[in-house]
Structure 1
Amino acid sequence: MFGWTWWASTFGWSGDQEPIRCCGRHCRRVKKNVSVMATVCVETIINVPARQVWEVVADVGAVHKRLLPGRVADARVEGDVRILTMPDGAQVRELILAIDHDIRRMAYTVTAGQRLPLTYHHAAFQVFEEGKRSRLVWLTDVLPHAMAEVVQGRVERGIQEIKEVVEQNTAEQ
């Protein structure tokens, strides 16, 4: 149903491009041998129903309590901007781009306070049903490309922390 032809036509691939190349868990779209964007993709199975995982992900103002306590000390939302305060007092500003309850997707972009030397950072979480469990996918687009492996390590650790926190908090309820 969703074969190569469907993918190519849907995502705008043409003969002058190569398909997305996946190297481990980060990918780079290549056009005429020029990298356009590095994408890091990590995912995990969480032993909690998708509805409950989505409630946590969609609660963008409580990331410090429900998603990444310890990594984030505080969070507040001002309009469409989420301001995260890290344990050392540093702040990261994120523009919340989408919270789509129908497809369980939340997207954001870092606009200030990025600690890594990134010129672009856009990410999205999406929650999928896996029977009584859920699959959490975290996609992150980054520039420069050379930072993809560093970002991959961070989001791999982050998604593991999220899994542990969500499963522990659900078990305590």
Structure 2
Amino acid sequence: MASIRKEIDIGVPPEQLWDALRDVGALHTRLVKGFVTDCKLEPDGAARTVTFANGMVVREVIVTVSDEDHRVVWSAAGGRLSHHNASAQVFGEGAHGSRLVWIADLRPDSMAPAVAAMIEQGLDAMKRTVEAR
């Protein structure tokens, strides 16, 4: 199983970044504007349908939203992935900044480069979106 770990520093307090990350139905407006163009949270909040700027549409199951750990975990399967599980966690970084750690585990391993590239795009969009607020 391929495992990808990416980190980024974001110039906002961790509480501000966490508030946007934990709003799992508002990716397209609060967290990764432009990278995700639409996000529809199911009525029970257990899953969301995410539309990416590249046209890909994915149903993601929300596994955990932990206020204690400032961590969101989600999973998805389908298309060319037989398994995908990911987490994003917010940490304080310095006096007024944050560090976000995004980890994804997936199969098949051959999809790791494409998924890693999407994570990089997502992190860039996150930095732009959150710092602009």
TM-score (norm 1): 0.70
Structure 2 residue 83 is the aligned partner of structure 1 residue 120: yes
Matched, 1:104 2:70: yes
Give the one of 33, 42, 45 matched to 1:69: 33
- Seen in structure 2, the aligned counterparts of structure 1 residues 59 and 163 have a Cα distance that, compared at 3 Å, is same
1:94 aligns with 2:60: yes
SS in structure 2 of the partner of residue 119 of structure 1: strand
Counterpart position of 1:162: 126
**Among 10, 15, 32, which residue is 1:51 paired with?**
15
Greater length-normalized contact order (CA 8 Å, ≥ 6 residues apart):
2
Q: Is contact 2:91-2:99 (8 Å) kept?
A: yes
Q: 1:57 to 1:150 in 2, by over 3 A?
A: same
Over 3 Å counting, the alpha-carbon distance change for 1:149 and 1:105 in structure 2 is same
Write the letter of the residue equivalent to 1:119.
S
- How much has 1:101 moved relative to structure 2? 0.4
Instruction: Calculate the TM-score normalised by the size of structure 2.
Output: 0.90
Q: In the TM superposition, what is the alpha-carbon distance from 1:91 to its structure 2 partner? A: 2.8
**RMSD (Å) for aligned C-alpha atoms:** 1.6
**Retained in 1: the 8 A contact 2:35–2:125?**
no
Unaligned 5+ runs, structure 2: none
Q: Which residue, 99, 120, 124 being the options, matches 1:135?
A: 99
Is 1:121–1:142's contact at 8 Å kept on the other side of the alignment? yes
Whole-Å separation in 1 of the counterparts to 2:101 and 2:47: 22
Larger Rg: 1
CA distance in 2, matches of 1:88, 1:45: 25
